[in-house]
C-alpha cells in the first residue's frame, strides 16, 4: 500500500510539473530565454509598426514563431478589426458632395488581398524577398480577401466614394491576374485599379504612390478622404490623404 | 491507508488545478474574457502607437491592468531600449560639420523625464487629464530621467550635436522647476530648453512645435538631424526633422 501511495505521489508530481510549465518562472533557464525573446520580438514589432525601424530586409530569426503566432493566431485579425472600427467612425462623420469627386485609396497586397499563405512558405518573412516566387504566387490570382477590409471596401462603395486601388505590382505582368483575383474575392465597384506602369518602374513605393495621388488631386480634382495601406510608403510622401490608416504587417518592408 | 491515498489524491488534484490555472483554456469563462480583454488592449495600444486612433481622452478602463503591466513590467523599457539602439545606429552614420549647426530635438515629458509616478495615481491614464494635479506634480521637479533617453542625450552632446529640448509646458509657470528637474537628473549640456511662451498659448502641440522648428531651420540655419518624442504631435506637422522617432506612450494623447 505504501508503494501505491508513492506511485500515486510520483504520477501526480509529474502532472503538477507538467501543468506548471505554463508558468514561465518555473523554467529558470528556458523560461527566461523565452521571456527575453518574447520581449525583444514585441519591441521589434512595435518599432516596425511605428516606423522606428526602416528599411529592414527580413524578420529576425528569433521572432519567427512570434510573427507566425501573431499573423495566424488571431491578434492580427483583432488589430485589423479595431482599425476598421476607427475608419468606420471617421467615414460616418464625412458628408459627401454630389460632384462625384470624393475619393478613397486602398493598397492591394496585404491590404485588400492577403499574402499570408505565400509568406507561410517563406517563414513569415524570415526568408529574404524572393521576387520570382512571389511573381508565381501573384500570377495564380488566389490571394484571399482580408475580410475586415473587404467589408470596409463595400461600405465605401455603398456610401458613394470613388475607391482607387493602387498597387506597386507591375502593370504589364499583373494587371489581369490582379483584376481577376480582386473580382473573385468580391471586390466589385471600385473606380480604378492602378498598377505600376513603365513610367514608374524602379521608383520607390512612396515616390510612385505620391505621384499617383498628385494626379488624382491636381489633375482630376478628387478629394482624397482616406488612404489605407500596410506600408508607411503607401501613406507617407507628398499629396497626402486627409486621413491615413496604417495596417499591421510584420512580414516585409517596402520602401 | 485507503483514506490516506484518497487524501493525497485530493491534495494533489488541487495542486494540479491551481498550477493549471496558468493556462487560460482551463478557465472556460474567466479565461476567455481575459483573453478577449488582452487581445483588445493589445490592438488598442498598437492603434494608439501607430496613430490610427487620434484624439483619445482616456485609456479604456478594461485596459488599466494591461497598460499598468506594460509601463512598469519591463516591456516599455524594452521598447525604449530597442528604439534607442535604432537611433544610435542612425547617429553613427552622421558626419557632423564644423559650423556648429547640427541640431537634434528631444521632447521633455515622457521623453527625457518620466511621469509614470504621477500617472500611477491617475490609473495610468484611465482617469481624465487633471491640469491642476499635473501642475502641482511638475512644479515639484522630481520627475526621474528615462535612463535610455538620458544615455542618448549624453551621446548626442558628446558627439557635438546642439540639443534642443522643446516642451509644451508653459514658460512662465514651469521654466525654473523644469530646468532644475533636468539638471538634477543629469541633463547637462543642452543648447536650449524651449518652453511654450505667451505667443504660442492655446496652440496645439503640433502647430507650436512646427513653428519652433521653422525658426531653428529658417531663421537660425540649423540642420535638424533627428527629433524624438512620445507624441505624434512632437514629430508631425511642418518643417520636419530628417528622421523622427516615436517613443511609446499609452497613457495620454496630446494633439
Predicted ipTM beyond 0.85:
yes
- The secondary structure of B35-102, three-state, reads HHHHHHHHHHHHHHHCCCCCCCCCCCHHHHHHHHHHHHCCHHHHHHHHHHHHHHHHHHCCCCCCCCCE
> Which pLDDT belongs to residue A29?
60
What is the pLDDT at residue A16?
Answer: 35
Mean pLDDT of A202-229: 98
Instruction: Please state, in angstroms and rounded to a whole number, the distance separating the CA atoms of residues A146 and B105.
Output: 40
Q: Report chain B (255 residues): mean pLDDT per 10 consecutive residues.
A: 45 37 45 86 98 97 98 98 98 97 98 98 98 98 98 98 98 98 98 98 97 98 98 97 98 97
Residue of B nearest to A54 (CA): B86
Please give the Cα distance from A209 to B142 (Å, whole number). Answer: 47
Going by C-alpha positions, the residue among B109, B235, B240, B88 that lies closest to residue B154 is B88
Backbone angles phi, psi at A48, to 5 degrees: -65, -45
Query: Which pLDDT belongs to residue B19?
Result: 36
Instruction: Name which of A1, A40, A50 is nearest B50 (Cβ-Cβ).
Output: A50
CA distance B75 to chain A (A): 6
Q: What is the DSSP letter of A202?
A: T
Judging contacts by C-beta atoms under 8 Å, the chain B residues touching residue A52 are 82-83, 86, 245-246
Task: Give φ, ψ of B195 to 5 degrees.
Answer: -105, 170
Check A79 against B47: CB less than 8 A apart: yes
Paired strand residues for B145: B113
Please tell me the distance from the alpha carbon of residue A39 to that of residue B18, in angstroms, as a whole number. 26
Beta bridge partners of B193: B165
Task: Give the nearest partner residue to A78 out of B39, B82, B246, using CB atoms.
Answer: B39
What is residue A4's predicted lDDT score, i.e. its pLDDT? 45
pLDDT for A168-182, tens place per residue? 999 999 999 999 999
Contacts 24+ apart (CB under 8 A), A17-26: A19/B16, A19/B19, A19/B20, A19/B22, A19/B23, A20/B19, A20/B22, A22/B19, A22/B20, A22/B22, A22/B23, A23/B19, A23/B22
B20 Cβ under 8 Å from any chain A Cβ: yes
Which residues on chain B are in Cβ contact (under 8 Å) with A47?
79, 82-83, 86
The pLDDT score that the predictor gives to residue A30 is 67
Domains of chain B, first to last: 29-47+61-73 (no CATH), 79-246 (3.40.50.1000)
Contacts of B76 in chain A (CB under 8 A): none
Of A43, A47, A245, the CB nearest to B52: A245
Q: What is the mean pLDDT of residues A138-144?
A: 98
Q: Which of residues 75-94 of B touch A (CB under 8 A)?
A: 75, 78-79, 81-83, 86
Looking at residues A111-124, what average pLDDT do you find? 98
| Whether A51 and B15 lie within 8 Å, measured CB to CB | no
Q: Which residue is closest to B44 within chain A, CA to CA?
A: A82
Cβ neighbours of B75 in A, within 8 Å: 39, 42-43
Q: Do A42 and B15 touch (CB under 8 A)?
A: no
Residues A31 and A152: their CA atoms lie apart, in Å, by 41
**Residue range A145-168: average pLDDT?**
98
The owner of cell 528569433 is A62
Q: What is the rounded CA–CA span in Å between residue B53 and residue B37?
A: 18
Distance CA A193, CA A202 (A): 20
Residue range A19-38, pLDDT digits in tens: 333 333 344 566 777 888 99
Residue A230, pLDDT > 80, answer yes
Residue A1 has pLDDT above 90, yes or no: no
Query: Please, are residues B169 and B196 in contact by the beta-carbon 8 Å criterion?
Result: yes
Question: What pLDDT sits at residue B29?
Answer: 61
Local confidence band at A155 (pLDDT 50, 70, 90 cut-offs):
very high
Paired strand residues for B228: B106, B245
Cell numbers representing residue B33 in the block: 474574457
Contacts of A8 in chain B (CB under 8 A): 5, 8-9, 12
Long-range residue pairs from A94-97, CB within 8 A, at least 24 positions apart, any chain: A94/A225, A96/A159, A96/A160, A96/A161
* A121 DSSP 8-state letter: T
The predicted pLDDT at position B28 comes to: 54
Q: Is A83 close to B47, i.e. CB distance below 8 A?
A: yes
Residue A115 CB-half CA count within 13 A = 26
pLDDT score for A7: 41
Tell me whether A29 touches chain B (CB under 8 Å): no
Of A9, A39, A81, the CB nearest to B78: A39
Amino acid at each position: 500500500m505504501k508503494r501505491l501511495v508513492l506511485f500515486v505521489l510520483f504520477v501526480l508530481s509529474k502532472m503538477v510539473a507538467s501543468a506548471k510549465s505554463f508558468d514561465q518562472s518555473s523554467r529558470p533557464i528556458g523560461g527566461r530565454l523565452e521571456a527575453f525573446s518574447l520581449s525583444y520580438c514585441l519591441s521589434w514589432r512595435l518599432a516596425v509598426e511605428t516606423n522606428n525601424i526602416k528599411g529592414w530586409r527580413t524578420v529576425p530569426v528569433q521572432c519567427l514563431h512570434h510573427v507566425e503566432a501573431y499573423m495566424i493566431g488571431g491578434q492580427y485579425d483583432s488589430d485589423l478589426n479595431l482599425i476598421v472600427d476607427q475608419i468606420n467612425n471617421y467615414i460616418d462623420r464625412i458628408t459627401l458632395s454630389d460632384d462625384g469627386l470624393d475619393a478613397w485609396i486602398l493598397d492591394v497586397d496585404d491590404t485588400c488581398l492577403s499574402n499570408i499563405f505565400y509568406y507561410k512558405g517563406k517563414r513569415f518573412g524570415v526568408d529574404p524577398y524572393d521576387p520570382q516566387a512571389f511573381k508565381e504566387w501573384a500570377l495564380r490570382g488566389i490571394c484571399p480577401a482580408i475580410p475586415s477590409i473587404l467589408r470596409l471596401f463595400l461600405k465605401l462603395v455603398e456610401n458613394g466614394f470613388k475607391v482607387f486601388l493602387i498597387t506597386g505590382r507591375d502593370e504589364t505582368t499583373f494587371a489581369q491576374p490582379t483584376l481577376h483575383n480582386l473580382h473573385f474575392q468580391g471586390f466589385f465597384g471600385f473606380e480604378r485599379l492602378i498598377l505600376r506602369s513603365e513610367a514608374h518602374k524602379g521608383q520607390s513605393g512612396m515616390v510612385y504612390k505620391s505621384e499617383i495621388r498628385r494626379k488624382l488631386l491636381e489633375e482630376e480634382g478628387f478629394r482624397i478622404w482616406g488612404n489605407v495601406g500596410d506600408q508607411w510608403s503607401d501613406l507617407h510622401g507628398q499629396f497626402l490623404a486627409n486621413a491615413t490608416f496604417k495596417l499591421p504587417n510584420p512580414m516585409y518592408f517596402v520602401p
